[in-house]
Structure formats: structure tokens, C-alpha cells
Amino acid sequence: MRCYLRAGLAVALGGLLLLATGGTLRARAPSRVANIAPEVWDASASGADVDILLILRDQADLSGAWDVSGREARLRYGYDTLRVTAQRSQAGIRRVLDSAGVNYRPFYLVNMIALRGDRDLVIRLAARPEIARVVANPKVRMSTPMPDSGPLVPQTVAGVEANVAYVRAPDVWALGYTGEGIVVAGQDTGYDWQHPALIAQYRGYDGVTVTHDYNWHDAIHEDDPSTSPGNPCGFDLAAPCDDIGHGTHTMGTIVGDDGAGNRVGMAPGARWIGCRNMDRGWGTPERYAECFQFFLAPYPLGGDPFQDGEPDLAPHVINNSWTCPPYEGCDWETLQAVVENVRAAGILVVASAGNGGSSCSTVEHPPAIYGAALSVGATDNSGAIASFSSRGPVTVDGSGRLKPDLSAPGVGVRSSVPGAGYASFSGTSMAGPHVAGTAALLWSAVPHLLGDVDATEEAIARAARPRTTTEGCGGDGTGDVPNNVYGWGNLDVLAAVERTLPGVQIVKGVRRSGQLRVRSLEYALVVTNTGPVTLTGVVLTDMVPLSTTLTWASGHYTSAGGWLSWTTESLGPSETLTAEFAVSVESLPRGSLVINADYQVRARELLTPVVGAPVEAVLPWRLLVFPVLRNSQLE
């Protein structure tokens, strides 16, 4: 505290502190306060107001979220824990700001306050004990995707785009999974929600009525001096609108399907919600954080995020086709806490790697640099890396982290644009939505993965088709997978689903008891977990064959109405459950056919029970008489 008070005093008396140099009196320039970012200090030197973020010392600890079972409970835990921390620790400084008439926006997702003020205000706020640091809230220009100058990418059968077919999404549709029951989100330049490829999938539209509450948020509240005055859509929009078309294109790749042959999206059965975080491509860390906060606990139009949030309405995955460059003053550490808290609450964060290639260590901008984000590089439709796709490793934060995590189509991607049209663009902005859509398909096929971000990321990344590189980024060898160019390789959604689908095998055998006359049949059943995940609530059932009588059964079982049941709480990968029982057949005439076909296994993770093949036995068993052969050479 003492050093802050001295700094504040030096500024207050700056006009009186004179330094004699060569007979000339001049004012001593104040030294930058340690917890004020250089960008803020320099921008406020002329007395101008600057946009800042006050980062408080007291930050919520969400490490306990991993111990909370169930996605909804984890979201609620995250929302409540973050709010309580922010409300308690912000109370004093908010009273100061209120009394001074300063406009500000408080946040709980990361404990911070956004405001605008001059250097004097910045210094006074930085000196408060609850403030850890003061960082810039700069205007950041999005790297605009490149329009495809060549012919449109050829479509495959039934209007499915080549990029969608390449990652094998239609093969997953054929299995019956299109993303149903999953909510995807995007923060971008806005969305044309009435576009034919998007309207049916918008969560705020049921085919008859429209409600944008909890489904849409606009973080663009006022004119941005970085752009020309006004905005084509306006500000604080009550309904989704896209001011340059980027968001509509990215969302189309996630869910787009107009039902008339334009099958541009990965998961047409999913629903979407959105947030506008950029004014014609210009964003700020505050806007990015505001959208993330809306997604963690959506609230109605004009609502209070601290009081009106509904975490039960949170999306399952958030697509982020934008970057926040540190060289433009974006504080990467602040957004890191934002992304990590969203992930801890059970939401998958997908981020485009950036268009800074082809040099190494060009994955250098948030949110793609974070370990808590699933980062995606761009390829063409043959799986070759695009020249513009950013490469790893991440060096800007000193981590040396391998990035991207995997790659997806991002060259000549055709998707929806405002006004009911379609166009092709190239960029990692186009690649990331493929992975967001993949998550929706995976979860609709394997719902027990919902909320398990670790397992979901691993399933998607490890199922990618391996690609090697000779570029040597980060010391990559020519045979290394993963590597800093492709990550784990090319996205393969069918392989991801097959990798995670629960699998069970039932093997059943029968043997006779008795010699010339069969008195009983003994059955043995072995259930094997052939999938990659632990099955829970496992129940094996079998029906005693008609006209037979149960004589005994193994283990702990129940018997009712001719049904036998064995249960176990869990069955891990490759583990087995074995059961045996015997039935008397003495009352059956010779030549009878005994069929046992009604046996199956079910578990919480299995969408439908797994039924075994019928087992048949004929009474009596055939008696084989083996002849006795003599060796003539021994006679």
C-alpha cells in the first residue's frame, strides 16, 4: 500500500516537483505504477480517458467443479461460486465508483470491472488493496477470412458440401445422430437468424413463435470509434443481426441446412444461440468476456447477469472464430481465466488457431493459445494444411504448448451469408465450426460424455486421421503425431463417434448334464465391455426356456416370472460379468428343441439393450461311438 500512496502523491504534486537540469526547470515525469499495464499508462499520458479492466485480487476457485457430478449441477456450482466471489469483493470499489458517478460494467466470470477514466482515476483505483492489476481494454481487429476467388467447391451427393463429407459427418447422420438435444453457441459478428439454413435450428424459434430472451445477447452497446459512425444493425439489438456476415457463415458450418439441398452444416439437428462480440470485425476483451458470461448463464434481454442468469440454459459448446492479439494490447492472462472458468463449468470451448501461418509459433493469440481451448488449424478438402493456418508451438506465454490440437477444412468452405445467400470463404474461422459441430454429433450419439470436457476433447482429437509434417516447428520430427502443424491430424467425426460409443459383447454357451439321457442343460453367459468407457447400472437378464424348470443359478440374482437378473454397479473397459444357471429337461420328450433367445444386457450408457443370439439344444444329445482301431504292426 505504501508504494501506491507515494505514486499517487507524486502525481498529485507533479506540478510542484521540479528538477533543475542545465539551469532549466522541468517537471519530473511520474513513474508507471507497477500494477498498471504499460498500454494503459502510455494511452493516458495526455490526459485522455482510456478503456480499462480492473482485475481484482480475489478470484473464485472452481477446482471443486470437477467433483460435482452432472452437467447441470456443475454449471450451477460454477455460476453461484463465481457470483458470490465477485459480489463480495467488488462491493467496496463499486460504492466508490457509484459515488464518483463513473459508469462501469461488473463481471463475475472473471472478477473484474470494465470502465473508462483518466490517469488520475486509474492511479487511485490501482492503489486500492482489492485491485491486482489494471489492464487495457483495446479495440481489436479481426483477421477477415479470405473470399474464395476460384470456382465454388463442388458439392457431393444430395447437396452435402465437400468439406462436410470429407470429415464423414454424413456417415454419422446415417447412424441416426444429427446433433439432436445439443445446444451450440457462437460469439461473432452477429447472425442472420432468419436465414433459411439457420432459422429452424435457432433455439428462440419453435416454428410459430419467436423469443430472443436467453437465446441472444448483443455486447455492442455504443458506437465504436474504430469504425465509421453508426452500425448497419444498430446497437443493443433485441434480435440477432449480422453486420458483416462472418457469424452467419460460421454458424452455417455448425448447423446449417435449409431443407432444400444446401446441407452446409455438420450438425443440422442441433439448436443454436448467439452473441455479437464485434462491431464490423472490431472486438474488445470486455465484449468477449461479456459473451462468455452470457453463455455460462443466459439471461433475458435487458436482464442482470448477476441475478437473472439461468445456467440450465447454457450451451454445450461455444465456437470462437476470432482472436485477441497481445500486440494490440489484449491482455492474454485475463481471457485465460475466462476460458478456464467456462471450461470448468462443463462447456467445451472451440477456438480457431489464427491465420498467421506459415511460420512456426504463429498460434500466438487468445483464445487459441490456451490449454483450456480446443484449437483448430485449417486444411483444404484433401487434408493438406493451408499456408495461412497458424502453427505452434505457443511461445507468447512461455508455455511452449503444442498447438493446434487438430485440423479441419478451412479452404473454400461454402456456407450461409446474410440475405438467404451462400458464399465460400477461407480461414481458420471456417475450420473451428467443423469441430464445434463434431462435438454436437458426438454428444447426441454418446450423451454420457455431456459435461465431460476432457473426455470429449480426447475423443475428437485422438480420432483424427494422423498427419505428419516436415516443417519442424517446435522440434517436430518427420513422424511425430501430434505435431505443431496438424495437431493430432485431420478431423474425423465418424471415428470420434465409433471411438466413444459404448460396446458390449454377450457370449452364451450350453452344455448337457447326463449321459445317454440328458437330465439338464447348463448355460454360461459372459458379458464383456468392449467400449472405451465404464458402464454403470449394468443389468443382465435371461429367460428360463419354456417347459423347463430352473434348478440353480450363480451369484446374486433375482428371479421373477421366469426371468433371471444379475446386476453390477459398474463394468470397466475389457471387464467381464459372468453368470451361470441350469434348467431341468427331464420332462421333455426325446427330440425336443430347446431355444433360449430372450437374454440381453442394458446399462445407463447404452441407448438400447444389447440382445444376444439364440442358443439351441436338441434332446437327447447325439451319442457318438468311436471305433477302436488296431495297429496291425503291433499284432
Question: What would the grid cell of residue 345 be?
Answer: 463449468
Dihedral sign for Cα atoms in the order 551, 555, 559, 563? negative
Q: What is the C-alpha to C-alpha distance for residues 524 and 260, in angstroms, rounded to an integer?
A: 53
Cβ atoms of residues 542 and 525 within 8 Å? yes
Q: What is the C-alpha to C-alpha distance for residues 550 and 70, in angstroms, rounded to an integer?
A: 41
Buried b (16+ CB within 10 A) or exposed e, 108-133: bbbbbbbbebebebbbbbbbeeebbb
Question: Cell 496291425, residue?
Answer: 632
CA-nearest of 325, 317, 248 to 282 is: 325
Question: What would the grid cell of residue 408 be?
Answer: 479441419
CA-nearest of 630, 564, 571, 633 to 604 is: 571
Q: What is the C-alpha to C-alpha distance for residues 366 and 372, in angstroms, rounded to an integer?
A: 11
Question: What would the grid cell of residue 110 be?
Answer: 472473471
Task: Report, in angstroms and rounded to the nearest whole number, the Rg of the chain calculated over CA atoms.
Answer: 32
Give Cβ neighbours of residue 463 (< 8 Å, ≥ 6 apart). Answer: 492, 495, 496, 498, 499
Number of DSSP helices (H) and strands (E) in the chain, helices first = 12, 30
Q: Sheet of 421-426: strands edge to edge?
A: 146-147, 421-426, 413-417
CA-nearest of 315, 255, 313 to 437 is: 255
535-543 and 271-276 as β-strands: parallel, antiparallel, unpaired? Answer: unpaired
> Would you please indicate which residues are annotated as catalytic (active-site) residues?
188, 246, 429
CA-nearest of 321, 487, 308, 331 to 394 is: 487
Cβ atoms of residues 119 and 47 within 8 Å? yes
Dihedral sign for Cα atoms in the order 345, 346, 350, 353? positive
Give Cβ neighbours of residue 422 (< 8 Å, ≥ 6 apart). Answer: 197, 252, 262, 264, 414, 415, 416
Per-residue H/E/C for 72-98: HHHHHHHHHHHHHHHHHHHHHHHHHHH
